[in-house]
Amino acid sequence: MSALLKVSGLSVAYGAVPAILDVSLELQPGEVRVILGANGAGKTTIIKTLLGLVRARSGTIQFDGKHDLTRLKSHQIHQLGIAWVPEGRQLWGSLTVLENLRMGAFIEHDEAKVEKGIATMFERFPRLKERRHQLAASLSGGEQQMVAIARALISKPRLLLMDEPSIGLAPLVVRDIFDLVRAINQDGISVLMVEQNARQALALAHWAYLLEIGQIVESGPAREISTKERVQEVFLGGAA
Amino acid sequence: MDIFLQQIMNGAVIGSTYAVVAVGFALVFIVLRVVNFAHPEIFMLGMFSGLWAALHISDNLAVVLVAGAIGAGLGGLVLERAVIRPLHGRNMLMTLLATLGVSIILQNGMAIITGPDPVPYPTIIPNMSVPLGPVSLTARQLVNFAACIILLITASYYVRGTKYGRATRAVAERPDVAAAFGVNVSLISLITVVFASLMAGIAAVSVGLLYGSAWAFVGLLYGLKAFIILLVAGNRYFEGVVFVAIALGIIEALITGYVSSGMRDVVTFTLLIGVLYFRPNGVFGSYNA
């Protein structure tokens, strides 16, 4: 089976400061893969480069075996079926919940399909239906994360990029979010997630990468990665 | 009392034009984070395009208004692609200086072609007075006022009620997220500048018809006012900008009517400084670039 996403030798720098160096990773269709790393390791940079929001200095990003994302603009990348749940939600706070969802379906020109997508999201997240006319900024953190996920799912993406979906949320909400990711994946959507919450992420993912100071230092099936000394030390809070 | 009401009406008419120019200015600032000092000269281009059409094509009101929109719209199109877009992502001051340069070139370029003095507009709207209860407006004032109010309603509908307007607000708040959800941010920027220019062009023609002249330096009058209005209102609410613009027109008219026209700008600028002292982000709040 050919990879849905194949990143080869990707390097990004902000000015003279390298952010990620020679990163290679891939994702098979239907998989959940997680990139673990501390603050400043370059996780968000990888996601933003995939989305075309940050330009690569070198390397390639193959999507679906035929598109090189490093050559495309962000709005073109989204049209290939790649959606984003940004770090810290990044909702349009001055837009209502409903408007945020409509923006998620911006590329869909068939108004009937947009309405159907919204109805599906409201079925999945009944709380959002109650709050549909509220400004997104007025919601709680957990509700905002639901909007961020619904906004990304409404375009029926093939690949979902999730940037620290658990950050800043209460532990019970975090569990809900990870359950949700599992359900999304069971619907056939591939997920590439970056996380600091290693325990939950590793329980969910098929494969994991460990990113340190911009470089991948470990890679392997999630089950094996969680036993590595380095991961135990840094993320799982204890000597193995 | 009648003079008071009359001055309020006169002021509202003047203020409606300020509102159109200021809203265009505000839209471009909020969406592109660009201080477009050439916007008043786009207004001037519209005024002369309308005049040119009136002299060379037809003196039909609709033709003249559309010509003003086309002239200003083309001006905005070229401005965005040739000056604003290439400087995207650079220091805000660079675009500010570049558009200021364009504004000076357009003012003086037009002065070379048409002369430094106002050029008469043909009489398209008869100079008659229309009674409205205790007050009356001239037919020219009514056309100017109606054109501006329709433009403002159109702008409000576009921004609040259409898919591209929603995308425009999304770009204003988070351009990166909008791009990642399929919005062509560069296209939205272009549409925003052209839309603001079209509005300015139509308003400019109605002003030319009102005063019976077009002038290469007319942008100086409207540009500074629009800038003041934006500072006083803050750039967060469209309606706030319109409110302050009309209020400014009315204050000016009352001062002109009861005190003297010489005092007008003294009072206006004192009010500006007073408001900014107490509300540095404007009366209605601002997005900070």
**Interchain proximity A94–B185, CB inside 8 Å:** no
Q: Which residue of B has its CA nearest to A47?
A: B180
pLDDT tens per residue across span B106-115: 999 999 999 9
| DSSP-assigned letters across all residues of B222-244 | HHHHHHHHHHHH-SS-HHHHHHH
pLDDT for B188 equals 98
Other CB atoms within 10 A of residue A145 CB = 25
The ipTM value here is 0.94
Distance CA A51, CA A73 (A): 8
Residue B90 pLDDT level (bands cut at 50, 70, 90): confident
pLDDT for A237 equals 65
Centroid of chain to Cα B78: 18
pLDDT for A239 equals 47
pLDDT for A240 equals 41
Residue B288 has pLDDT above 70, yes or no: no
pLDDT for A40 equals 86
**Interchain proximity B173–A94, CB inside 8 Å:** yes
Q: Cα dist. B79→A185, B6, B262 in Å? A: 47, 39, 35
Distance CA B18, CA B251 (A): 13
Residue A231 pLDDT level (bands cut at 50, 70, 90): confident
pLDDT for B106 equals 98
| Span A162-168, average pLDDT | 93
pLDDT tens per residue across span B156-189: 999 999 999 999 999 999 999 999 999 999 999 9
**Interchain proximity B182–A155, CB inside 8 Å:** yes
Is B216 within 8 Å of chain A by CB? no
Q: Which residues of B139-163 are buried (b: 16+ CB within 10 A; e: fewer)?
A: ebbbbbbebbbebbeebeebbeeee
- Which tokens hold the place of B217? 């330096």
Distance CA A148, CA B141 (A): 49
- Which tokens hold the place of A168? 């800043």
Taking the model in full, what pTM does it have? 0.93
CA angle at B217 for the pair B211 and B219, rounded to the nearest 5°:
80
pLDDT for B2 equals 82
Number of Cα atoms under 13 Å in the Cβ half of residue A203: 9
Q: How far is B233 from chain A (nearest CA, A)?
A: 18
Residue B16 has pLDDT above 90, yes or no: yes
Among residues A114, A95, A98, A97, the alpha carbon closest in space to that of A106 is found at A114
Is residue B67 classed as helix, strand or coil in its secondary structure?
helix
Residue B18 pLDDT level (bands cut at 50, 70, 90): very high
Residue B279 has pLDDT above 90, yes or no: no
| CB of B35 closer than 8 Å to CB of B101 | no
Residue A238 has pLDDT above 80, yes or no: no
Q: In what order do the strands lie in the sheet with A215-221?
A: A82-85, A159-163, A190-195, A32-37, A207-212, A215-221
Q: Select the residue of A53, A95, A102 nearest B180 (Cβ to Cβ).
A: A53
**Interchain proximity A92–B181, CB inside 8 Å:** no
